[in-house]
Structure 1
Amino acid sequence: MDFIVTFPALVAGRLVLALSPLTHYLRDDHLLSSPLTSYSRLQEGIYLFKHGIDPYSGSTFRHSPLLLSLFSTVIPLNEVTAAFLWTASDALAAWSLVRIWRARQNVSSSSRDSLIAGLYLLNPYTFLPSLGQSTSSFENALCLLSLMLACQKQASASLLALAFLIQLSLPSILLLLPLLLLLISEPTSHLASPFFFKTDIRRITPLAGQFAAYILLLSGAATLVCGNLNWVEKTWGASLTLPDLTPNPGLWWYFFTEMFDHFRPFFLIVFSVHLLIYVLPLCIKFQHDILYACYLLLGILSIFKAYPTLSDPGLFLSMLSLFPETFPYLHHPIVTALLHLHAALLLPLFHYLWLNQGTGNANFFYASTLVFGMANGAALLDSIWAGLRIAIGEVKEEHEVLQE
């Protein structure tokens, strides 16, 4: 169908759902929002800020001061504005995904545009957190916007979008190196024909300096909003120290609930540093297709970040549509799909049995998060396999043709 027709229709449908009473039932769901992205906590922080109380003096509010400033001064946060704002955020994310696809194919439009947008806007992992008004929807939009601008070689705008994203979610700093490399390379597909990256790496130095300037500028603005540096510990520090053990779909919370206090600092360092070890190997191995490396790093973040929501794997799975050339080389797509279906049934069921019915315990819910983590891990490993296997497959096919 025509993208000009389907895209507004999808966005309008999302807006109708956002204006429905459904949002009230989803706002406090632990699967859809975390302590760092909760709409209810955001409202509480805005209320405290408007009444002259430092929202970071307690242990509840952990959103960025930039969101605090935006919603307490520029955009009043209420039922109507929230519905329009979250819908616009998803529309921006879907539009950015389509533009990334066009840049990758080096075309101005394609017949798959509607499918690409639909796979994001109709993905339950993305639209349910959006209906729950989790600020993770803003993170997804900024991430895709940054990648889109990088594909279009708009360096300043791309780095600024990434700086805003890091203000909301510190783990997104992992995307800095591949984004810098994407700015000096091409987004078109080279998975089937890998090559050595010959571009002068020194070109990223001024870009890195520009990014550092944006980070300092936004951090200074955040400090001016708060009047102190308490926000650093409560927002960025939360991703490193895990002060709130509220259940979520991730792997950290239960592990540290059972952890002895004297082991906690060591394992916090291990879990945090663990995320860093993937960046350089993926950028080196997929230097011929840096956009694919960005995609894989988003998959790693969706599994191992401290406070994930369903929107994190939702972004990763939605981006799979950008790489149709890898589909024939996926090793076990049916098993991965069934694992996700299994986890999608277990997560809400065990969450309800534990926290609503009281007939289960934390082990029930954590078992379902392990299945969910295994499903995300299977999707990630399959994507890595396909990205590596496609080059070998293409060489083998060419060889067979020559033999004939």
Structure 2
Amino acid sequence: MSSPSKTSLSDVSARYPTALLVLIAARLWLSVTDVPKHLQHNQQLSSPLTSYFQLQEGIHLFKNDIDPYSGGSFRHSPLLLSFFATVLPDSRLVASVLWTLGDVVAAWALVQIWRTRQNVVQSSRDTLVAASYLLNPYIFLPTLALSTSSIENALMLLAMMFACKKKASAALFTLSFLLHLSLSSIVMLLPILLLLINDPHSHLASPQPMTKPLRKLWPLFGEFSMYTVVLALISTLVAGSLAWIPQTWGATLTLPDLTPTTGMWWYFFTEMFDHYRPMFLMVFSVHLIIYVVPVCLKFQHDYLYANFILLGILGTFKAYTTLSDPGLFLTMSVIFPETYSYMRHPIVTVLLHLHASLLMPLFHSIWVTQGTGNANFYYASTLVFACANGFALDDAIWSGLRIAIGPSVEGSHVVQE
């Protein structure tokens, strides 16, 4: 019985690099065609905070000694600005290759998270895990549009991978760098800190209360704060002033640009009276944060799963969303196959996502291109998309909790109800 299993493992090992190399080559070929030019301004793939077109505008201003943060339209981090203005040539071809390689790194990080969770060096599921990221249309379409949300996804997976492998400094520095690109990622600070001091292996079926003392978090939080301050000082030196803070971090909290996105903020604040705007901005911002502690407490036996749930919440409710935000959450579900049999409505979730992916570009075209509709058309499609993400979150939370009870007879009645 041992020889067939060894043969199977060797066959998988031989096929795994070949399949991924073919997939990566296809992605690279697609990225250097004219397809990215047609997707670059798509508002479902990039937001005012992640648009490559606005990044190019900021680079042009920066190279001509004009403060890109003085005009109120450039909202990328000074770290990205300095990197693309000095290290890399200002070329769409180079950017396309770099974005694709970023997806490759993200897929590799996801495979490493899967292996660490299963406590194996290699598995037959590695190809599926990597392909689920590289072939997810919610992931590779924003990459083709050169949305910096793809870079944010890669940094997020790297931070989680380092946390699973207990490489604290690497995880905290990566998360700090991500924070400078997207302030909303602060939601992931506590679960990643808890993941650093706890076991990343699967414990959904046998939940146990957390035994590690929380005082171990304080040195890690101090190190993260140090990295954040150092990167903030570097950003200030690059920008020449503190003007980058309200234009980057502040944009996440104040929503100055009401460009339509796949999220739910833009339309709500388009219709909002200015008198009530500060209060609802606070409510929407706090709404993201209030989930962090309850989710970490409920899944204290499996903090990697808590990270997964909070990624779904972040991808659904953050201020400026693109398809890649919920795409990361949906892709990451591939490393939790033990929960699949406990999901209540996976078919409904898939159909809702299919429905929304057809409606959003259609209604956006009717409104913006043809002019035969209005903003209500597109916002209705984003609400369908939000419902799809909500169903996926509900399934993930339910199955993650239900697996501890097991497939009992009483449980089957509860599921049916």
TM-score range, shorter chain: over 0.9
Q: Which residue of 2 aligns with 1:280?
A: 293
Deviation at 1:192, TM superposition (A): 0.4
Q: Which amino acid aligns with 1:300?
A: I
Q: Which amino acid aligns with 1:319?
A: M
**CA offset digits 1:103-162 (Å, max 9, x no partner):** 000000100000001010000000000000000000000000000011011000000000
Q: Which residue of 2 aligns with 1:63?
A: 76
- So what's the TM-score if we normalise by structure 1? 0.97
Q: Are 1:232 and 2:252 matched, yes or no?
A: no
- So what's the TM-score if we normalise by structure 2? 0.94
Q: Which residue of 2 aligns with 1:117?
A: 130
Q: Are 1:140 and 2:153 matched, yes or no?
A: yes
Please give the residue correspondences for 1:10-29 in structure 2 after superposition, counting only pairs within 5 Å: 10-29=23-42
- Worse overlay, 23-32 or 9-18: 9-18
Q: Are 1:210 and 2:216 matched, yes or no?
A: no
Q: Which residue of 2 aligns with 1:402?
A: none
**CA offset digits 1:247-291 (Å, max 9, x no partner):** 000000000000001010000000001111000000000000000
Q: In structure 2, which of residues 39, 44, 55 is the aligned counterpart of residue 31 of structure 1?
A: 44
Q: In structure 1, which of residues 271, 293, 296 is the aligned counterpart of residue 306 of structure 2?
A: 293
Q: Which residue of 2 aligns with 1:377?
A: 390
**CA offset digits 1:335-371 (Å, max 9, x no partner):** 0000000001000000111000001100000000000
Q: Is the 8 A contact 1:106 1:188 kept in 2?
A: yes
Matched residue of 2:262: which SS? coil
Q: Are 1:173 and 2:186 matched, yes or no?
A: yes
**CA offset digits 1:180-199 (Å, max 9, x no partner):** 10000111100000001001
- How far apart in 2 are the matches of 1:330 and 1:76? 47
Matched residue of 2:184: which SS? helix
- Worse overlay, 3-12 or 354-363: 3-12
Is there any run of 5+ residues in structure 1 with no aligned partner, and where? 398-404
Is there any run of 5+ residues in structure 2 with no aligned partner, and where? 1-11, 411-417
- How far apart in 1 are the matches of 2:409 and 2:212? 28
Q: Which residue of 1 aligns with 2:95?
A: 82
Please give the residue correspondences for 1:1-400 in structure 2 after superposition, counting only pairs within 5 Å: 2-393=15-406
- How far apart in 2 are the matches of 1:181 and 1:378? 27
Q: Is the 8 A contact 1:339 1:371 kept in 2?
A: yes
Q: Is the 8 A contact 1:86 1:137 kept in 2?
A: yes
- How far apart in 2 are the matches of 1:167 and 1:7? 31
After TM superposition, where is structure 1 displaced by more than 4 Å over at least 4 residues in a row?
394-397
Deviation at 1:77, TM superposition (A): 2.4
Q: Which residue of 1 aligns with 2:9?
A: none
Matched residue of 2:406: which SS? helix
- How far apart in 1 are the matches of 2:213 and 2:371? 60
Matched residue of 1:306: which SS? coil
Q: Which amino acid aligns with 1:75?
A: L
Q: Which amino acid aligns with 2:51?
A: S
- How far apart in 2 are the matches of 1:273 and 1:336? 27
- How far apart in 2 are the matches of 1:159 and 1:394? 39
Q: Which amino acid aligns with 1:334?
A: I
Q: Which amino acid aligns with 1:15?
A: L
- How far apart in 2 are the matches of 1:86 and 1:395? 47
**CA offset digits 1:200-255 (Å, max 9, x no partner):** 21111111100000000000000000110000000000000000000000000000
Q: Which amino acid aligns with 1:100?
A: I
Deviation at 1:9, TM superposition (A): 1.6
Deviation at 1:394, TM superposition (A): 5.9
Deviation at 1:395, TM superposition (A): 7.4
- How far apart in 2 are the matches of 1:83 and 1:260? 41
- How far apart in 1 are the matches of 2:152 and 2:400? 26
Aligned residues: 398
Deviation at 1:10, TM superposition (A): 1.4
Q: Which residue of 1 aligns with 2:5?
A: none
**CA spacing shift, 1:395–1:176, aligned 2, 3 Å:** farther
- How far apart in 2 are the matches of 1:128 and 1:385? 30
Q: Which residue of 2 aligns with 1:400?
A: none
Q: Which amino acid aligns with 1:226?
A: A
- How far apart in 1 are the matches of 2:66 and 2:336? 48
- How far apart in 1 are the matches of 2:104 and 2:336? 21
- How far apart in 2 are the matches of 1:396 and 1:43? 60
